[in-house]
Structure 1
Amino acid sequence: MDRNNVLEVKDLHVSFHTYNGEVQAVRGVSFEEKKGETVAVVGESGCGKSVTSQSIMRLIPQPPGVFKHGEILFEGNDLTKLPEKQMEGIRGKDIAMIFQDPMTSLNPTMTIGKQIMEGLVKHRKLGRAEAKEKALEMLRLVGIPSPGSRIDQYPHQFSGGMRQRAMIAIALACAPKLLIADEPTTALDVTIQAQILDLMNDLKEKMDTSIILITHDLGVVAETADRVVVMYAGKVVETGTVEEIFNRPRHPYTWGLMGSMPRMDLSRDTELTPILGAPPNLLSPPKGCPFASRCPHAMKVCKEQMPETTDASGTQRVACWLEHPMAPSVEIPHDLVGGASK
């Protein structure tokens, strides 16, 4: 494992056994997370983003879930093989998670203060008085006003934005080395979204925490991420720096995501271009490229054989047959990168 990486996911396969058969939710996902870096994992709903993040936390219920193959290396340990007792010592202390819906993630019967203190008492072995003082400090750090009174309130007494801030306080209380944020701004209005994203960026700098950001919002990605992992149908189709993915995307699926996103630099008359069709059924995924049925540039080989992942640059990788030297030259849509070609 590269000592500059805090996490390495290698060829991860996760399935769920259902009455209808085996759902192959994650099919060979690989990426790494460097220390102090924010990696955004993007894609449509159902592409495997949340299953990947929950696999890192070992929150996949087994059964029906099963780790079929691959490794999740954190500080040299393969998390998929650790006994649950050892994983409990890592979860919440070294790896923490902000869940998508704070109202269902927070315990409605416990005060916010007690929920922050819980991890401090368990992992840091702090006394209750010391843990309460640290909880107050965390509430101040995430910008919750009047923390002295708010610490004894319950989740239903907080607004949506404040509940999300409380979730961040709980996640960061033990100063984790890796923070996983699963759609942390989905249910919030744009003003609160901006505040939460600024808060996460500030705390990353202050606490030197690495962040995996799970989202389908490319605006959030542009605001916060250093690198991007694009997922589709349980597979990684492209990775690269934010600049590469936004300015020089190479996979047709990434082009589709960009084309369906509102852009401030385009005229108001510019129409958004939706990605036609639907993702494949992961009960019986296609043997070729999973995007072939929706791709306007699909060739015969795309439907028959999975493309290899190739290096487009030192930091950008793409799994697409258009990268093959014998593939026809395809022009990247003009409104994405000014008409740069393959």
Structure 2
Amino acid sequence: MAKDNSKVLLDVKDLRVSFDTYAGEVQAVRGTNFYVNKGEALGIVGESGCGKSVTVKSLLKLIPMPPGRIKTGSAMFNGKDLVKMSDKKLESIRGSEISMIFQDPMTSLNPTMKVGKQIMEGLIKHQKMSKKEAKERAIEMLRLVGIPTPEKRVDQYPHEFSGGMRQRGMIAIALACNPKLLVADEPTTALDVTIQAQILDLMKDLQDKMNTSIIMITHDLGVIADIAQRVVVMYGGLIMEEGTVDDIYYNPQHPYTWGLLKSVPRLDNKKKERLVPIEGTPPDLFSPPKGCPFADRCEYAMPICKEEMPEKTSITDLHAVSCWLQHDMAPDVKNPVTEGRKK
């Protein structure tokens, strides 16, 4: 099943984002192309500093501008280009049509405002509700995200909530106006494993109920497997590989994706195998490499890898990879992730 333009909610093309610093230009995002369908969850995965958060935050102008700037690109959302949109128009979309859940709920919630009032703000602004209607909706949202005794909790401050409840409160704020797209930036990082699972279950449940599209930004491949239908693998400000969850987990084609998967513990390993870290460090984005950004850390790198960025190769309609190993003249390298795995 190829990309169906009638189902696409957000379509990002050739996005390039830089930060101008005293030391020079940091090329954080260097030409990304991806899309999100209506009602779909897309995972964006990669190491810290690979450009995941900057890619999505820049579309909503949630990065400081300056020093940040969008150099080129378009982001068509419901037929409107977010990149060309005025700040005022974008402000009317943020929180109503596109909402964001941030990484740390303790710093994202206002500590001086009651949680209920923080939910009510967006409802009063975007939905033009009265205070009474907004408070009733805030209680309903807190109940929807699984917070007990919402009638009491609506009048409490963030410090009176546990970490998991604060994150649920953030989700309640994000979903209050029934957005078409929910961006979740590492939403489970600060939470313990049990609460993580509850938050992911909640997000999947709400996605089913409200048919909201989700962009899940994370470095945790377990989170992606649990919630996303398609995955984009980023490195050095570029997309290395993209495909369905099954493509990425069961038939990955890029050595960077192999490295990510090999560094995650597997439940079907009977012998005590050591986790394999990816040696080396990410590229310097002040002066990005002209070839593949992963070449210096890749055990399969060839001279061409450092000289020229490979073209995107389609494996299937939805699975594509940018790697010189796909070239007809490249050596035959066995996939270390699928090799030896039980059929």
- For residues 105-120 of structure 1, what are the structure 2 equivalents within 5 Å? 105-120=108-123
**Quick one: which of 143, 151, 173 aligns to 1:140?**
143
- For residues 215-230 of structure 1, what are the structure 2 equivalents within 5 Å? 215-230=218-233
Tell whether 2:113 aligns with 1:81: no
Distance between the aligned counterparts of 1:275 and 1:25, measured in 2?
A: 21
Q: Does the CA contact (< 8 Å) of 1:233 and 1:280 recur in 2?
A: yes
Shift of 1:222: 0.9
Aligned partner letter, 1:265: D
**Quick one: which of 230, 245, 248 aligns to 2:248?**
245
Distance between the aligned counterparts of 1:204 and 1:303, measured in 2?
A: 42
TM (norm. structure 1) is 0.97
Q: Does the CA contact (< 8 Å) of 1:93 and 1:123 recur in 2?
A: yes
Tell whether 2:65 aligns with 1:30: no
Shift of 1:297: 0.4
Tell whether 2:162 aligns with 1:172: no
- 2:239 maps to 236
Q: Does the CA contact (< 8 Å) of 1:58 and 1:79 recur in 2?
A: no
- 1:271 maps to 274
Shift of 1:271: 1.0
- 1:319 maps to 322
Distance between the aligned counterparts of 1:268 and 1:220, measured in 2?
A: 25
- 1:45 maps to 48
Shift of 1:325: 1.1
Distance between the aligned counterparts of 2:56 and 2:85, measured in 1?
A: 17
Shift of 1:77: 1.0
Moved more, 74-83 or 90-99: 74-83
Shift of 1:312: 0.9
Identity %: 64
Shift of 1:17: 0.3
- 2:298 maps to 295
C-alpha offsets along residues 162-215 of structure 1, whole Å, 9 cap, x if unaligned? 000000000000000000000000010000000000000000000110000000
> Equivalent residue of 1:108, what SS?
coil
> Equivalent residue of 2:5, what SS?
coil
- 2:97 maps to 94
Tell whether 2:211 aligns with 1:208: yes
- 2:157 maps to 154
C-alpha offsets along residues 38-62 of structure 1, whole Å, 9 cap, x if unaligned? 0000000000011012012221221
Aligned partner letter, 1:9: V
Q: Does the CA contact (< 8 Å) of 1:9 and 1:29 recur in 2?
A: yes
Distance between the aligned counterparts of 1:35 and 1:234, measured in 2?
A: 25
- Which runs of 5 or more structure 1 residues have no equivalent in the other structure? none
Q: Does the CA contact (< 8 Å) of 1:24 and 1:282 recur in 2?
A: yes
Distance between the aligned counterparts of 1:115 and 1:161, measured in 2?
A: 17
Distance between the aligned counterparts of 2:262 and 2:270, measured in 1?
A: 14
- 1:3 maps to 6
Shift of 1:135: 0.4
Shift of 1:18: 0.4
Shift of 1:313: 0.9
The 1:300–1:339 alpha-carbon spacing in structure 2 relative to 1, beyond 3 Å, is farther
Distance between the aligned counterparts of 2:60 and 2:20, measured in 1?
A: 20
The 1:283–1:338 alpha-carbon spacing in structure 2 relative to 1, beyond 3 Å, is same
C-alpha offsets along residues 132-175 of structure 1, whole Å, 9 cap, x if unaligned? 00000000000001101100001111100000000000000000
- 2:338 maps to 337
Shift of 1:338: 3.3
Aligned partner letter, 2:143: R
> Equivalent residue of 1:211, what SS?
strand
Shift of 1:310: 1.2
Distance between the aligned counterparts of 2:339 and 2:148, measured in 1?
A: 46
Q: Which runs of structure 1 show a deviation greater than 2 angstroms over 4 or more consecutive aligned residues?
A: none
TM (norm. structure 2) is 0.97
Shift of 1:339: 4.6
Aligned partner letter, 1:121: I
- 2:199 maps to 196
Distance between the aligned counterparts of 1:314 and 1:271, measured in 2?
A: 35
